[in-house]
Structure 1
Amino acid sequence: MWLTDLLRPAILTRGRGGKQQNRRTAYLDGLRGFAAFLVYWHHHQLWPRQNYLIMGADYIFENSWGFGDNWFFAAMPVARTFFTGGHFAVSVFFVISGYVLSAKPLSLIYSNDHAKLGDNLSSALFRRWLRLYIPVFVTTVAYFTSWHLFGIWTVSPNHEANFRDELWKFYVEFKNYSFAFRTGGEDWLSYNFPTWSIPVEFRGSLIIYTSILGLSRCTKNMRLLGMVGLIFYFMYIVDGWFGSLFMAGSLLCQLDLLARNDDLPRIFKIFERYKTPIYYTFFIVSMFLSGVPSHSRDYEVLLKSPGWKHIAFLTPQATWDFKWFYLFWAAVFIVSAIPRIWWLKAFFELRFNQYLGRISFSLYLIHGPVLWTIGDRLYVATGWYRPEHEINTPFLINAFPLSKKGPLGLEPSFLVPHIILLPFTFWVAEVVTKLIDEPSVRFAAWLYNKMKAPIEQQK
């Protein structure tokens, strides 16, 4: 029975248990899930087209509309986010994390329960590393084990000659990758490069926990001012863009908490009557900024990009990679606007987006391995192949050729493989959620409770 429950897709259990009432912040779960799908779609758009034309599809997708005299629909403002919105999605992840990680401790601060606040932060900090890194560790080991167990070839990374050497290579990479305060090396695992954001997620979590504790004894207004100050510091004084994203999520959480208690600072009352046009403006500006050029970190590229060159002067001096400044505002604006625009909120509360929210972490972790194994082979079969495929999988080349005509990003030869890829990736993500992600959360909580001293020994 347990194996059936593990392998049965959630879509086949629809209708069981009746309709459930969404939580107040259910829209955040849906937004996280939809953002995870954008990451999936971004990487699939770029992977098969690495030899597209002369410059590569990423040159077209990730530059502004009209850059280099390229006027493709997929690079148009707003439209581009739905083709290559992966960086925007990561920014949204960090704002949501800042919001969610802050919710409980901030509510304890405002209820003046500092004893429980200490317990909450202790538990959260203990569990956070385990919750983030256990799924990365297990899924990565399972991925490279499949190479040696089943003889699977992948374009990258290079496979070691035997499983023992592969384990050692992974150990060397993972021990450095999992150290939050490392000062060198790559930001990602060569086995799964989208996981670069996990160490950043952990560092952002540390910022949230320490800042909330540090500001816990401050007055309401001083706490708000302290959060704004940290956002400014991370973005404009040092190159800590991710810290700004996490702190912005925490600030939004605190403002929502104050709004529910009718305790917002008086300055917000001035804008109360204009809130609808303000939040629609936030939404529109967010959709434009979410398409910031991301193909190069060179500031000169921004100055040469149609549309963007007019606002390039806004980029802070401290920001090394300019895209994160614009994605900061895009992510903050969209997260703050969604609960105030009814149809947007309703969209992210749809059952399917809630489903994506549940499997979002696993989807983020496994979509790359699925792409580089099954996805790569399906794309080769429909006509998207490179020289290395002629050597390693020649029997698949054009096995089922389809047309590459049509708008860039929507060609039949690209879309048809997703009849298989999309449901399969969702199913694998769901299995990983049940088998690895959710158990890792329970394990971290169990371990904390096992190691925690009895109350009488904590005095």
Structure 2
Amino acid sequence: MGGTAMDGSLWTRPRSSSARCAVATMMRLSGPKVFLDCCWPKSSAESSWSNNCCNSKPLRPTAYLDGLRGFAAFLVYIHHHQLWAHGAANYANAAVFENAFGWRGLFHLATVPGIRNFFTGGHMAVAVFYVISGYVLSAKPLALIQGEEYGKLADNLGSAFFRRWFRLYMPLLITTLVYVTSWHVFGFWNPVCEPKDTLREELWNWYVEFKNFSYLFKEGPVWVSYNTHLWSIPLEMRGSMITFIACLSLSRASTTKRLISQVLLMIYFIYIVDGFYGALFIAGMMQCDLDLLSKRSDGSFPRWLRRAERYKVFIYYHFFAISMWLAGVPSQTADVMDLRGNPGWYWMSFLKPQAVLDPKWFYLFFAANMLVACTPRLGWLKRFFESRFCQFLGRISFSLYLVHGPILATVGDRLYHAVGYVRPFAESQEHMAPWTNILPLPKVGPMGMELAFLAPHVILLPLTFWVAHVATRTVDEPAVRFSNWLYKKTLPSRLGVAFLVDGLGTLGRDLASRVYGEQDDTGLCERVCWFILALYYMYIQHLMGVFRSILETVGI
């Protein structure tokens, strides 16, 4: 487990700051405000692109993580579209994307190490999601641990535990429900899963799938047939719990032993059991711990890391290069022998530990860690992820992840059929016959950048961004507010008593100060009255304090 906006100025940006302000003003004054607020981007990290010019706000210190997460979500979008379209034209083409440069004598620009991440970087993106979540979720608890504020730590972790399920699963529940009902309401064919005969049967099947999918301790595959791209959400939930538990269990440990424990946890999750997501979350937690320690002047930051800072440019550029290479690990299958058959990966395949069932996650563990670590230390890379476009992607990243699959399976499938990418399935060809080759385009250009592939994205890309933005405003952000509201509703009523006691105490002290006021025109009788009133409020405060102690004693 946090953009910049995209309005008309994304495509035709005004030349001057004053012109951009004028456009922003005209947009606010034209049309119903509610419609614009709900259906048009409004950010700078949170406000609209045009508003950002008029009233810009400084970026948060971790804004680069928002941008990195957003760009990673964009890579997931690209990855799935590449495989869908090229798998339709020829399944072997889709396999080329998932294998190394030179596999079976095939050489394409889209498979060159480093470059391939812009075409099939979706796997790397998920690993980056987990590292970022481990970093962000542990930031506040670790700050409290380092400050030895254990009472506040308990409150923070209690709130985080409570809110996490709602934060992750409420947007998923709503978006899948809308998708499930859509093909019954509008009567269109859905290529993802076999529709039920009636809406009632569909809703029951959806309910059964969702309740099992959202169960933290569910065994077996973590798939929901209505949107298979969401398999990573249950692992996100489990990784979040691992992070919270690690923060709590290591809260009293010394700095050195806490860091050693984090290393041991990563070794456990990646080398002893198949828990790659746990290792990625703990890695993010450790990076956050080190970043916070580096800002302290008490000598708690490891000395050997402090001494290595003089070589940081050399180190982090190598981290970046290695991460880009490892991010392109061949991932067509989970068979290590297939990995071994890819050029450049024969010897690397022997590094895979026995515990990891899918080899790619072992290599992506190191790739994602290195990328997240080097991003704030390489100025040009940090500036890119702090750019308006990446900040916008960061704000809509979760919704983009949720909605890009349904849009691909409905609008995207039809547009790809229209330009000539026909899926090789009899049922698909039957239902998509009215759309097939409406506007056939030549498949010219490098693989992954063919004209026929790029043309549909003139519609698909802005449509997906817009739907993701609407989902962010109407589903994702309200889910965050709802989880906060619900948690506050569960707090005991005695907190209200505490607030009342504090309020009465303040009032009593104010009244008492009037007794000893410096105003010369205050008469003796008036001062006596103020004094009696102050004593009365002090007495009430004392009674309320006794009442609070009784409540705490009996555990109410």
TM-superposed CA distance for 1:61, in Å, is 0.4
User: Which residue of the partner structure matches residue 367 of structure 2?
Assistant: 330
Partner of 2:226: 191
Cα RMSD after superposing both structures: 1.4
Q: Could you tell me which of 240, 245, 249 is aligned with 1:214?
A: 249
**1:60-80 per-position Cα deviation (integer Å, ceiling 9, x unaligned):** 000111122221211111111
- Are 1:375 and 2:412 counterparts? yes
The residue type paired with residue 317 of structure 1 is Q
1:29 correspondence with 2:61: no
Cα shift at 1:235:
0.5
- Which of 294, 309, 313 is residue 259 of structure 1 equivalent to? 294
What one-letter code is carried by the residue in structure 2 that aligns with 1:126?
Answer: F
Is 1:440 aligned to 2:479, yes or no? yes
Match of 1:416 among 445, 455, 460: 455
Does residue 1:7 correspond to 2:44, yes or no? no
Once residues 388 and 125 of structure 2 are traced to their aligned partners in structure 1, the CA distance between those partners, rounded to angstroms, is 20
Structure 2 distance, partners of 1:10, 1:446, is 24
Hey, what does 1:346 align to over in structure 2?
383
Pairing partner for 2:270 from 226, 232, 235? 235
Q: What SS does the aligned partner of 1:317 have?
A: coil
Residues 296-315 of structure 1: matches in 2 within 5 Å?
296-315=333-352
Q: Which amino acid aligns with 2:322?
A: V
Quote the sequence identity (%): 52
Cα shift at 1:51: 3.9
SS at match of 1:396: coil
Separation in structure 2 between the aligned mates of residue 289 and residue 195 of structure 1, nearest angstrom: 24
Identify if the C-alpha distance between structure 1 residues 175 and 75 changes in structure 2 by more than 3 Å, giving closer, same or farther. same
Q: Please, which of 116, 121, 138 is the counterpart of residue 174 of structure 2? A: 138
Letter in 2 for 1:315: K
State the partner residue of 1:365.
402
Between the aligned partners of 1:314 and 1:380, the Cα distance in structure 2 is 42
Counterpart contact for 1:389–1:397, Cα < 8 Å: no
Cα distance per residue 1:396-435 (max 9 Å; x no partner): 1111111112211111111011011101100000000000
Give the secondary-structure state (helix, strand or coil) at the position aligned to 2:50: coil
Task: Report SS of the residue matched to 1:339.
Answer: helix
Equivalent in the alignment of 1:167: 203
Question: What is aligned with 2:421?
Answer: 384
Give me the whole-angstrom Cα distance separating, in 2, the residues matched to 1:369 and 1:52. Answer: 20
CA contact (8 A) 1:51 1:57 kept: no
Aligned to 2:81: 44
Offset, 1:436: 0.3
User: Cα offset for 1:5?
Assistant: 1.1
Q: Which amino acid aligns with 1:379?
A: Y
Residues 449 and 270 from structure 1, CA distance in 2 versus in 1: closer, same or farther, beyond 3 angstroms? Answer: same
Q: What is the CA–CA distance in structure 2 between the aligned matches of 1:389 and 1:258, rounded to whole Å?
A: 56
Secondary structure in structure 1 of the residue aligned to 2:434: helix
Conservation of the 8 A alpha-carbon contact between 1:62 and 1:294: yes
The residue number in structure 1 matching 2:125 is 89
> C-alpha distance in 2, partners of 1:371/1:48?
10
Larger Rg: 2
Preserved contact between residue 77 and residue 288 of structure 1 (Cα < 8 Å)? yes
Secondary structure at 1:324 match in 2: helix
Correspondence for 1:61 among 88, 97, 104: 97
In the other structure, the counterpart of 1:247 is 282
Structure 1 unmatched runs, 5+: none
- 392-401 vs 135-144, which moves further: 392-401
Alignment equivalent of 1:156, drawn from 176, 185, 192? 192
Question: How far has the Cα of 1:264 moved from its partner?
Answer: 1.0
TM, length-normalised to structure 1: 0.97
Q: CA deviation at 1:142?
A: 0.3
C-alpha displacement at 1:189, in angstroms?
A: 0.7
Of the three residues 95, 104, 107, the one matched with 2:140 is 104
Whole-Å separation in 1 of the counterparts to 2:130 and 2:255:
24
Distance 1:290 1:448 in 2: 39
Counterpart of 1:397 in 2: which secondary structure? coil
| Structure 2 residues without counterparts, runs of 5 or longer | 1-32, 496-547
Asked whether the 8 Å contact 2:189–2:431 carries over to 1, the reply is yes
Q: CA deviation at 1:2?
A: 1.9
| 2:74 counterpart of 1:74 | no
Q: Does 308-317 or 428-437 show the bigger shift?
A: 308-317
| Deviations, residues 147-170 of structure 1 (Å, cap 9, x unaligned) | 010012121211111100101111
In 2, distance between residues paired with 1:378 and 1:167?
28
Answer with 13-22 or 101-110: which moved more. Answer: 13-22
- 1:224 aligned residue: 259
- Higher relative contact order structure (alpha carbons within 8 Å, sequence separation ≥ 6): 1
1:126·1:448 contact (CA, 8 Å) conserved in 2?
yes
Aligned mates of 1:13, 1:115 — CA distance in 2: 39
Q: 2:165 aligns with which of 111, 129, 133?
A: 129
- Partner Cα distance (1:201, 1:322) in 2: 19
Distance verdict in 2 for CA 1:397–1:28, change over 3 Å: same
Corresponding residue to 2:218 among 136, 158, 182: 182
* Number of matched pairs: 457
Check conservation: 1:382, 1:398, Cα contact below 8 A. Answer: yes
Q: 1:269 aligns with which of 306, 313, 322?
A: 306
The TM-score normalised by the length of structure 2 is 0.80
Measured against aligned partners, the alpha-carbon deviations of 1:354-402 in whole angstroms (never above 9, x if no partner) come to 0100000000000000111111111111111124343112121111111
Query: Alpha-carbon deviation of 1:28?
Result: 0.0
**Aligned counterpart for 1:20 among listed residues 57, 67, 76:** 57
SS in structure 1 at match of 2:346: helix
Alpha-carbon contact 2:40-2:469 (below 8 Å) kept: no
The corresponding residue for 2:9 is none
d(CA) in 1 for partners of 2:468 and 2:88?
29
Superimposed CA distance per residue, residues 247-267 of structure 1 (whole angstroms, 9 cap, x where no aligned partner): 000000000001111431112
How much does 1:15 deviate? 2.5
**Cα distance between partner residues in 2 of 1:86 and 1:144:** 25
